[in-house]
Amino acid sequence: MEPIRIEQFFLGCLAHASYMVASEGVAAVIDPQRDVDIYVDAAKEAGWQIEHIIETHLHADFVSGHHELAERTGARIYLGDGSGASFMHTAVKDGDSIQFGNCRIDFMQTPGHTVESACAVLTDLGEPSRPKAVFTGDTLFVGDVGRPDLSGDHTPQELAAMLYRSLHEKLLKLPDDTEVFPAHGAGSLCGRQMSSERSSTIGKERRTNYALQAKSSDEFVSLLTESLPPRPEYFGYDVELNRRGAAALEQLPQLTPLRASEVLRLQSEGAVVLDTRPAMDFAVAHVPGSIHIALSGQYASWAARILGLYKRIILVGEDADHLRESQLRLARVGIEKADTYLEDGVSGWVKSGYELDYIPQVSATELADLLDQDDVSVLDVRESTEVQGGAIENSIRIPLGQLPARTDELDHDKLMVVHCKGGYRSSIATSILRRAGFRDVANLTGGHDAWLVRNNEMAGSQL
């Protein structure tokens, strides 16, 4: 009897985890990402046939590939009852199950993150006395639980109360050694304190997950809904797209090059030039007015939060592969109007006779000297939970996701030195400020981490 195989596919740019469970040549894919070749190729290599696709809920932070994967494999899609999904699927309730090979998957309705949320409990029929694992979607994370504000019909308080019951009356009834496989890890927008660990157990989460320490439903509801970060606007669109089923990625248009003069014209009409190169490349030279979001980090998520899903986007990248990857990652969150790029990149802009812009970089030592001046401000774009661990004195605090709507709170007449934790988000912030008309903007190299190192070195030298 072959052991059940569980393969995890972790997409770092969205902190998204999907899974393939296989037994006796048959496989089920759980919470697939939009580009589904990875599952098709992995199944082909292993000799498995994908017959089942399980969605733990209608995802809000990315576009799922369930529709395309079902069309390519003939697999059946399973989704919690009450989703309102318009594509062909099986709506599952408590007690429903599927079985293939030595594997049985029992569905457990766990509303709270969304109304239709469901978990999939895996049992190895070779050891049928206790479940082996549970795929929790966004109901239970490692170190956190799902945010309760994704319904237009229920208040966050109502959803949080549902989530408390789902956790304590269902999930936490599973044995402590049951493995927990969530749909997201640290960096996802679907929770606040997720661990970077990719899996856990019911027992470990019972002991260490902050949200599970609440002693009552009321305490849990308050914990989850007080200081809840704003819900990104694109979440609603992605839910509806997933409810319909997204088109196959092969339908994305091919990227078209644009001369610098055409880019300049479209930019004047409202198009956004999106520079995806590394932060230092952008800082040294970039198209004036462009937004910088480096491809190396959580690029697509930040692009959706900062730009929305509907603006026309002109890409700036390092080469053809970089540009195509940029377009693909944007499509993963529902941005499909990124089908052009600046021909020959920044060098093409220069050859056309246009000027470039740049962002000065300030070291932690230089910032310490600048803080004595009245015409300098420090802007901290980290999240409030990060600021609790320490902040530069008298800094202004606006989380990056809120910055585009709050630039009028800042002083144009002061040098604005921007920082985050390590430098990724602050580079985005400097481009937002520059585009909004702030001329005296600088980026703190290495972010708050570099500031702490500098302070520790100073303290050590004084001993």
Q: Is 275 left (phi over 0), alpha (psi -120 to 50) or beta?
A: beta
Helix (H, G, I), strand (E, B) or coil at 147: coil
* CA–CA separation, 142 and 13 (whole Å): 18
The span from the CA of 239 to the CA of 58, in Å, is 6
Sorted by sequence, the CB contacts under 8 Å of residue 408 that are 6+ apart come out as none
Residue type for position 425: R
Q: Which of 114, 120, 112 is nearest to 94 (CA)?
A: 120
The CA distance from 269 to 272, in Å, is 9
Contact residues for 15 (Cβ-Cβ < 8 A; gap 6+): 184, 185, 186, 187, 188, 194, 298
- Range list of H helices, 23-182: 37-46, 66-73, 156-169
Own/partner pairs, 447-451, CB within 8 angstroms, 24+ separation: 447/419, 447/420, 447/421, 447/422, 447/423, 448/380, 448/382, 448/386, 448/390, 448/391, 448/392, 448/419, 448/420, 448/421, 448/422, 449/421, 449/422, 450/363, 450/364, 451/364, 451/367, 451/392, 451/419
Q: Which residues are catalytic?
A: 420
Neighbours of 199 (CB within 10 A): 16
Query: How do 16-23 and 5-11 pair as beta strands?
Result: antiparallel
DSSP-assigned letter for residue 216: S
CA distances from 82 to 56, 337, 426 (A): 12, 31, 41
Largest CA distance in the chain: 74
Distances in whole angstroms, Cα of residue 396 to Cα of each of 117, 210, 347, 377, 412: 38, 29, 36, 8, 14
Asked if residue 173 lies in contact with residue 128, where contact means CB atoms within 8 angstroms, the answer is no
Q: What CA–CA distance (Å, rounded) separates 240 from 234?
A: 10
